[in-house]
Structure 1
């Protein structure tokens, strides 16, 4: 620590911190136009100059290190004079249209001119005159208002790492634009809006659907409802409408948002929202009262339970609703109805993560925080299109890459990060186990393993050694298509590092051997000792905003909240005491079992909350058969494709209309806050579930989600130390067993959670979808940046729909040439389950025998995927490998 004096106040600060940082830590405000704590100091604006005793000139406080004994004045006469001159010069070529400028009220230049009494420039300078760039769907760039502070350029290059904009020309003509002045719509811009968020003036502004002034709005801090990153954000509310979203700085997102979080919020107040309960009468869904709808659902539950037993009812909880609501769905199904038939969409994405990592490590969750990847020396990304599916995490990876981290990418497609990787392994779909085993083979053969870690923290290493003995890189080349020498390089790079991080997502998990894929990655981390320390770990990226929380709350058929087994005597006793009822003890049906059971007639009723299986589940035609045969209750925010088949529809509130918590992919429990009222008769999911609990005899009188969370703390040990008060400003990572505990950002520190890391030998087996004579091509699926899950929310955004209006298939030029397919042609893709028709995109991102189809659209990829053959450990389907036949339309019975 060093000591300096600022405005007569003695300030202690860490050595190496700037004067600006020292002053800020002491509560002394220094104005600036260009500073951002995430950027390398560049001192562009000079507004932050201060006077240092003994110095020849004023110094930029944002880029000058504080020194021991320094005496500093932040508002001396010389400083104020300099700031006035700088503002005078800026105004010389800045338009004075504050009365009509949309940034008024949130403009830093306006505030500083007011503070220092600058009304107009004393210079008769030339004005800038640039055409506005309105080509982006979400925002406008007006360089006539730019003050060249550089924040947008540096945030784009250093933080977001997209590098879509730069400085162009020199001298007076210097301005910010895209390379070659191509315009934003033709640039590499991904519309994250992070440049807008840091612009201190009106040069970058969102396109507004209606006029508002910033002083007419109020801010509500909350958590994003899209992917599992859990970005913190501020909802700007005018009257009862969210008019804009701004990023907030939280541990998960560090002030970043993606295009969906920043701009795709039209769904909140969309006119298509469900506003009243609906009951099917004479084949048509008609409006009903809450009393009618809830009574009908209750009567059906009671009748079916009496005539067929509780296990004739199944419920799907949701990764989109809060922890409190998932908990009550769990309580409804198990406590009030008496069945363990509860599951949710984790079954279709990360059930294999939960099963695999719980077996080998004792915890089925992400081991390290997302931003911790910046501490990694080597990053191994496999089965994760990180920059599109989890854009903020993708930004962290790129930041790490620029700071010197090495990057290995293994994927069937040449994703964006493949272009930046030190090694890109273009593997065949379904060959991940072979790759992992071959890498471990090399590590053991070349004695690169961490022997001390293996001896002290693992068990069954001999079984692993035997299992990979024959898995040479040459053998793996025949399976994966990756050259043997490249596999060796990847193994050496991963092992020869003090901290290597594995990042994966559904490209690993959504296979019929998904659990073994996960176990093979755990083996790789264990054999090299890459657990329990910064920059390392096995890090699954969860797909939806609260899929981690839904799992934590027991929305799984075999465990109660906090992963307590349903057949454990301790679990049964704990929840009998908490709920006052006896609980079922046999594990229930998974999503992938419940729908076939409905089709077969053994499940008579399905209660679907916040899920859309008509798009998300495999083999759409078979899904429809099951949904149509059962009595179907759908609780959602829109009349989805699933809702259209329902017997009862219950209108729910969106995240901006209720209180609660989400748990993000790094196990961080964060607050969700109500900003607006729900439309019409729509109600929060917790309220709906509480009404049913009371009708079914499990008396509940929660005043709100906080009461529910307090009950969660009592029955879920990993959440016991977390409270609303403790996470008011920043979330906490579980496990957090007591209020005196600070949470657990990194798992397995000092000791693996299960006691010792278990090596689980696995052998590669080809997918049953491969080698079908009638379906010789391979289809794989995934997300794209501009849509989310089943498009329930993103399809309501005109900007999103303008960029990504329809489904498509990526086809390699070699396959396209052989089949006579050209760019834009309508292509028929068939599997044993059905056929779809989509437009072709010709690209070498995929291999010659592989096609890629996004899964967001109805009548899309999941019409073709297989829902019958499941992972034996966790019952997840093999979405990522489907045998198909691809032909130009007209050649398949068009």
Structure 2
């Protein structure tokens, strides 16, 4: 954390631009920084209203308690549901698609269960680069005889160990999963009892997928009809089949639709409610699951309780002592829409509070994002390192990192785990939750907690499915998987969801859903003949917002990086390995090195 050879130094003092945008950031005391931020937030709220504010929570080191405080500040102090975080550009599609079908937006099984699965269908997910611990479970499953299927446009490490690699065309996921459903239904491979007792919407579902025969899907995906049929039959042949997915299916315009159909495949075959089966959206950063759990989303309070539900709203109003908004907030990705493209000043975002995020480095359409940050009246960055977004900030607040504070986070499989302070922070820095509480108090809404356990206890008392997950239980068990309803020792948490086919929907019934395939919004053209496939590599994880400040990982992938190209495309363009190339799209360009490889198909980079 304090390595002197990392790219950017730790933030160790609060800084503000005393003389407005364009003036230099100056080191000030915490009291002056807090007053500066509080006064500006208050002024903007009074002039433009609550919805002129947007908060971005962190899915990294601050922990669940900080996430709870961030959304509480946004809702109770600023008076808006404009709160979001990086899941919006990674697994928000998983939350939405899963909640619409099975009622919960999280892994239905536990990570240790993966190694006892009989069939593992990885789609758009390379565990070796994203989650080495999960990759180990997949390898163990294979050693025990599991059949591994990988659907990915690239030949990844997961593809290499797979028994079948479906090297489909990028962006054709919906066509593939619809075709798998077509085969399962048309060949009568469904679990009739499970579908009859625990699901609804079959006729509407079939009306869509009946068009997606393997022959038709082959024209879209580039796969053979035989491989599609084999995959469907293999997946449906076991009651211990698992579907794991990652960014490869969620970072598309039809990400939600793909997730819905993946959940439906599991329901059609009765692969829910037992160990070693179900669906697994494997989260990216260490606390993306927890940040969603804590309600850092524009449409739900902590515990996935809808902001539009009057009874839920009344409960949180009573607990927090203020009137709350019943209108869902705006998503992180819509900030440019409400700054650059909004003509009415009364409807714009005027204040942006960014905690542990770096949108100027990691959000889509960077040129537009950076222009947006310069046009927002007041930007606050709260982080551990100096980053690209801090260059646009009116105030920079230094926070503690993991290992420098207490708290807890949530693993991908819903497990609450303790974070413990092991070193003293260097410099004049504070925990994220304490910084936000000080701002709230300075704005006239006292938020006083002595430690993270007090914050946690307030949160679990408001969230029925988290109520039993006390610090004491986490200490005793090591991890507590939600739902955990009771604080007593008899409730140890839930390893797998949807037991006995009872889903988390209002009536307990799963809903079979999918959508027709639509081509990607942007396709190849004469001007742009290649398609770009974004990937996760160890040295470039999260576009280096984290790995860029780790010397060892930085050295793995030295700048200017590289672009993988097929051998055929390299020959056609006369490119050699290591040659500097310019990669150009309608949104910008970058210089990098050419890397010929057999991992990608012709026409893709």
- How does the TM-score come out when normalised to structure 1? 0.65
Of 162, 165, 175, 1:424 maps to 165
Q: Which residue of 2 aligns with 1:726?
A: 473
Number of aligned residue pairs = 588
Secondary structure at 2:45's aligned position in 1?
A: helix
1:796 has 2:549 as partner = yes
Mapped to 2, the partners of 1:620 and 1:485 lie a distance apart of 42
680, 690, 705: which is aligned to 2:427?
680
> Which residue is equivalent to 1:656?
403
- 1:782 matched to 2:527? The reply is no
Residue 406 of structure 1 deviates from its aligned partner by: 0.4
Structure 1 unaligned regions, length at least 5: 1-241, 243-264, 852-894
| Higher Rg | 1
What is the CA–CA distance in structure 2 between the aligned matches of 1:498 and 1:634, rounded to whole Å? 48
CA offset at residue 280 of structure 1? 2.0
**1:713 correspondence with 2:456:** no
Assess if the C-alpha contact under 8 Å between 1:661 and 1:672 holds in 2. yes
**Residues 1:528 and 1:586: Cα distance change in structure 2 (over 3 Å):** same
Matches within 5 A, 1:697-846: 697-729=444-476, 730-740=478-488, 741-750=491-500, 751-754=502-505, 755-806=508-559, 807-846=561-600
* Cα separation, 2, equivalents of 1:795 and 1:650: 20
Residue aligning to 2:238: 497
The 2-side partners of 1:833 and 1:796 are apart by 26
- The reply on whether 1:583 has 2:331 as its aligned counterpart is no
Q: Secondary structure at the match of 1:633?
A: strand
Displacement of 1:595 in angstroms is 3.5
Alignment partners' CA distance in 2, 1:493 and 1:266: 50
1:293 pairs with 30, 33, 40, which one?
33
Do the aligned partners of 1:361 and 1:753 also contact (CA within 8 Å) in 2? Answer: yes
- Note the aligned Cα RMSD (angstroms): 1.6
| Residues in 1 aligned to 2:422 and 2:540: alpha-carbon distance in whole angstroms | 24
Residue 475, structure 1, aligned to residue 216, structure 2: yes
> Aligned partners of 1:692, 1:509: CA distance in 2, in Å?
35
Q: Verify the 8 A CA contact 1:596 1:626 in the aligned structure 2.
A: no
- In the alignment, the residues of structure 1 paired with residue 357 and residue 54 of structure 2 have an alpha-carbon distance, to the nearest angstrom, of 13
Alpha-carbon distance in structure 1 between the residues aligned to 2:57 and 2:339:
17
Rounded to whole Å, the distance in 2 between the matches of 1:267 and 1:549 is 31
Which one scores higher on RCO, CA 8 angstroms, separation ≥ 6? 2
Q: Distance in 2 between matches of 1:823 and 1:271?
A: 30
Task: Say which SS state the counterpart of residue 739 (structure 1) adopts.
Answer: coil
Q: Which runs of 5+ in 2 are unaligned?
A: none
1:564 matched to 2:305: yes
1:850 counterpart = 2:597: no
On the 8 A contact 2:7/2:548 being kept in 1, the answer is no
Q: Secondary structure at the match of 2:353?
A: strand
Question: Are residues 286 and 787 of structure 1, via their aligned partners in 2, closer, same or farther at CA, if it must alter by over 3 Å?
Answer: same
Offset, 1:598: 2.5
Residues 650, 280 of structure 1: alpha-carbon distance in 2 compared, 3 angstrom cutoff: same
* In 2: Cα distance, 1:777 partner to 1:794 partner: 28
Q: Does the CA-based 8 Å contact 1:267-1:793 persist in structure 2?
A: no
Tell me the distance in 1 between the aligned counterparts of 2:569 and 2:8.
44
1:203 is matched with none
Q: Which residue of 1 aligns with 2:51?
A: 311
For residues 771 and 797 of structure 1, what CA distance do their matches in structure 2 show?
Answer: 36
Measure the CA separation in 1 of the matches of 2:280 and 2:599: 25
Question: What's the counterpart of residue 130 of structure 1?
Answer: none
Q: Once the 2 structures are TM-superposed, how far is the Cα of residue 451 of structure 1 from its aligned partner?
A: 0.8
User: How is 1:359-758 mapped onto 2 (pairs within 5 angstroms)?
Assistant: 359-600=100-341, 602-630=348-376, 631-729=378-476, 730-740=478-488, 741-750=491-500, 751-754=502-505, 755-758=508-511
Give me the whole-angstrom Cα distance separating, in 1, the residues matched to 2:563 and 2:405: 38
- Per-residue deviation at 1:742? 1.7
The C-alpha deviation readout for 1:218-267, integer Å capped at 9, x for no partner, is: xxxxxxxxxxxxxxxxxxxxxxxx9xxxxxxxxxxxxxxxxxxxxxx959
Once residues 798 and 623 of structure 1 are traced to their aligned partners in structure 2, the CA distance between those partners, rounded to angstroms, is 27
Q: Cα 1:772–1:270, aligned 2, differ >3 Å: closer, same or farther? A: closer
What is the deviation of 1:797? 2.9
Cα distance in structure 2, aligned partners of 1:271 and 1:518: 38
Cα distance in 1 between the residues matched to 2:429 and 2:569: 50
1:163-182 equivalence runs, <5 A: none
Deviations 1:67-98 (A, max 9, x none): xxxxxxxxxxxxxxxxxxxxxxxxxxxxxxxx
Runs of 4+ in 1 over 3 A off after TM superposition: 265-271
CA contact (8 A) 1:612 1:790 kept: no
Q: CA deviation at 1:306?
A: 1.1
Measured after TM superposition, the shift of residue 281 of structure 1 is 4.2
Give 1:787 shift: 4.1
Structure 1 counterpart SS, 2:354: strand
Q: Note if contact 1:277-1:293 (Cα within 8 Å) is conserved in structure 2.
A: yes
Native 8 Å contact 1:516 1:762 kept in 2: yes
Secondary structure, aligned partner of 1:424: strand
